[in-house]
Structure formats: structure tokens, C-alpha cells
Amino acid sequence: MTAAQLAAAPREEADQVFPLPPAPGAVSVVRRRVRAVLGGWNLPADAVEDVLLVVSELITNALVHALPPATLRLWRIPVDGRGGVRVEVTDRGPAAPPGPRKPAPDLDEHGRGLGIVAALSARCGVLAHPGATSRWAEVLTG
């Protein structure tokens, strides 16, 4: 989809918001809903998989490391003159770890999510708002 086609798309077709319940299984439930939305946007299969992985990593980051509630928002945007999807997860900011400080997690299993997001994104970053934090990524789709 070209930037002009994207600009002409109805806003409700191009903008989706998902509340993220702080519950086991939330990531897989939201991934299924996002997959359905992306399917309706007729994106290439490899782009869908990249967006889904970015969504999973940003959601997991918010659910594990931040205060609820969290919200996922995604919308189609032009990125560098090409089609893209912006993924943004907003939460209430970092959660203080409960109880005594735990040992550092095993880096073979944890700690690579934001690196994956950066690798799959044309651009990514963090926005600080009063009482909230948004992590975002823009993934090329065309």
C-alpha cells in the first residue's frame, strides 16, 4: 500500500486499540486478535509475522515490567515512503520489583525482547507521558 492509499484509508480501518489484561495467556489472546486485523489489511505474510513478533515482545515487556493497565495500539502509517505498521504499547511505567532483589535473569531466556524489536523495526523508541510510558516500533510492510 502506498503512502497516498494509506492516507486515504478510513481511520477506523487503520487504527486499532486493544486493552491488555494483566493475566496469563493475555499475549496469545491479543496476538490472535492482531493477526485477524493484519489479515484484513492484506499485508504480506512475512510482514505479518514481523509485526506479530514486535507486538508480542512489547506486550510481554509491559506485562512483566510495568504497572497495569496497559494498552496496545496499532495503525498503518507510511514509513520511508513505503507502507508500515506502528505498534505502540502504553502502560503506567516501570513496576518496582516486589520483595528482595532477585538475581539477574538468565540471558539465554530473558532480556532480548527490545533487541528483537529494534532488529525488526525501521524505527523504535520510548515516549514518556505524565504517569505513563509508551514503547513504540514502526515495521515496514511493503
pLDDT, tens only, 38-88: 999 999 999 999 999 999 999 999 999 999 999 999 999 998 889 999 999
What three-state secondary structure class fits 37?
helix
Confidence of residue 30 (pLDDT cuts 50, 70, 90): very high
User: With respect to CATH, is domain 1-10+21-94+130-142 assigned 3.30.565.10?
Assistant: yes
Task: Name every residue whose Cβ is closer than 8 Å to that of residue 128 and which is 6 or more positions away in sequence.
Answer: none
Question: Taking the complete model, does pTM exceed 0.75, yes or no?
Answer: yes
Task: Name every residue whose Cβ is closer than 8 Å to that of residue 1 and which is 6 or more positions away in sequence.
Answer: 9, 42, 76, 83, 141, 142
pLDDT of 107 above 60: no
Lowest mean pLDDT of 52-61, 97-106, 125-134, name the range. Answer: 97-106
DSSP designation for 124: E
Instruction: Give the DSSP per-residue string, 50-88.
Output: HHHHHHHHHHHHHHHHBPSPEEEEEEEEEETTEEEEEEE
